[in-house]
Amino acid sequence: MIEGFNILELATLFFALLYFLLILAFTLGWFKLKAYDFLKHKPKTKISVIVAARNEERNIEYLLTDLVKQNYPADLFELIIVDDHSIDRTAELINEAIRDYPEIQLQYYHLDNGSGKKDALAYGISFASGKLIITTDADCRVGEGWISTFAKFHSKTKARLISAPVVYHEEQNLFQRFQSLEFLSLIACGAGSIALKRPFMCNGANLAFEKKVFDLIDGYKDHKHLASGDDVFLMHQIKTVFGASSIAFLKHKDAVVKTKAVNKFDNFLRQRKRWASKTKAYKDVFAIVTALIVFGFNLLLLKLLIFVLLGLMDFEVLIFAASIKLVVDFPILMAVTYFGNQKKLMWYYLPIQLLYPIYISLTAIFSFFSVNKWKGRLIR
């Protein structure tokens, strides 16, 4: 038994060191990202914005209103919305927008063959005439400079794929603030990894890529059988074919997309299980190693907590491991909350840190041994 605890202590030290180095690297990467000056840019790139919508009658009007207000030339961008078998008023609202906003190029298609977000996005992209594809979700909000910022950044960097920030807004309770701070940490780590030329994560709610690149790699073909991961697996494909330098992160406040945290705990668990389930299909070595380090360290923290509560292990070991996490997580979270104008979230830093190992460990485990449902569909 004593030897077992010694092994656990060694494992804790090992994973704590790996976690510390990993998050430190992501932090340095975040600060390494440049703030670009776009003042001299002349719009010339044709942009296609693609949105896959399923039962979004509560949200689609807000996104359409934001897109109508874009400061990018109307003749240089088009909006393509694909209805993924909605059973509410989504189609009606989109058709109303087509009549109400004739000044923008708004196309609406209903997905008849296939189902799921990847099929819907691929169907919309097949009609796109833009050089640069931008994807977002129907429940998101964007600023008036959103499209133009992407266009300027692409013109300057020539990146094949561009990831950009997504933040939660209008949080109403501690539960939603927990989600918001955690989500910001994911965005910052993904951005930091891109800056270090080790891209492994992005978010399809704010993503751009060249249409010719999408066509060249046959879009989502290699991972079409997976219900989720239209964003991450596309990034991994482009990284494999074109190299890590072909991927960039757009760290600019005008490029931020806002969405809302879920308000029910069961929906939160389904969402996080859906995200975690993608890791089972990872082929990218760095993505696999990162997932193992994060999961392994948090699982060890949970085990240490249980052993301490049972009186089977000294409290000092848990304090050491938890302190490593508290210290190394703080700078990157402070930086990204400042960037997202959400500095007040840091008041919840300590309680969220205490809950995180429990949540991440259980979510990861459940994602491997249970089926999940999202928007009425089974996720496997």
pLDDT tens, residue by residue, 229-242? 789 999 999 999 99
Query: CA 60 to CA 294: how far, in whole Å?
Result: 35
Mode of pairing for the β-strands spanning 141-142 and 207-210: unpaired
* pLDDT, tens only, 302-329: 888 888 888 877 788 889 999 999 999 9
Mean pLDDT of 197-223: 94
Fold of 38-176+200-263: Spore Coat Polysaccharide Biosynthesis Protein SpsA; Chain A (3.90.550)
Q: Which of 251, 274, 249 is nearest to 262 (CA)?
A: 274
Q: At what angle do helices 315-339 and 2-32 cross, to 10 degrees?
A: 10
pLDDT for 1 equals: 43
Helical (H) or strand (E) element with 163: strand 161-163
**pTM attached to this predicted model:** 0.91
pLDDT for 250 equals: 97
Where are the domains positioned within the chain?
38-176+200-263
pLDDT for 370 equals: 57
Q: How confident is the model at residue 376 (pLDDT cuts 50, 70, 90)?
A: low
C-alpha 123, offset from chain centre:
22
* pLDDT, tens only, 262-278: 888 777 777 777 776 67
pLDDT for 30 equals: 97
Query: CA 279 to CA 275: how far, in whole Å?
Result: 8
Backbone phi, then psi, for 259, in 5-degree steps? -145, 180
Mode of pairing for the β-strands spanning 132-137 and 105-110: unpaired
Mean pLDDT of 71-97: 92
Mean pLDDT of 244-249: 97
